[in-house]
Amino acid sequence: MPALTLLLAVLLVAVGLLGFVGSGFQAPTALIPAGLGVLLALAAALARLPKARMHAMHAAVLVALLGVVGTASGLFQLPALISGQPVARPLAVVAKSVTAVLCLAYVVVAVRSFIEARRARTAG
């Protein structure tokens, strides 16, 4: 899980930086995914310590869950953008949607991993 967390962190930093550059360096809120990515990278680094691994991975899932909640609104505007209807800040809609999908996928994989780890602990 730490490697997957680090991969997600890199992807979110890229989304944030691309959004900020795409806005002409005018929208600092475009860096929010990058902030999430930095927090996830810190959690991945802490997870390399055996005693901190479980807590670090739970913290990472919490950050990702906050990412889903905070960016899900982009998913609701995405169909209008795809169909060609005008939307306010189309770049933000895309960045929020990408962030929401990445974070949601991570939460699903992490929860499955947590369940599997618990089953392995109780079985062994």
Domain boundaries, the chain: 2-123
Question: In this predicted structure, what is the pLDDT of residue 11?
Answer: 98
Cα separation of 48 and 93, whole Å?
Answer: 34
Question: In this predicted structure, what is the pLDDT of residue 121?
Answer: 87
Cα separation of 60 and 110, whole Å?
Answer: 9
How buried is 56 (Cβ within 10 angstroms: 0-12 exposed, 13-18 middle, 19+ buried)? buried
For the chain, report the end-to-end CA distance as a whole number of angstroms.
21
- What pLDDT band is residue 30 in, cutting at 50, 70 and 90? very high
- What pLDDT band is residue 6 in, cutting at 50, 70 and 90? very high
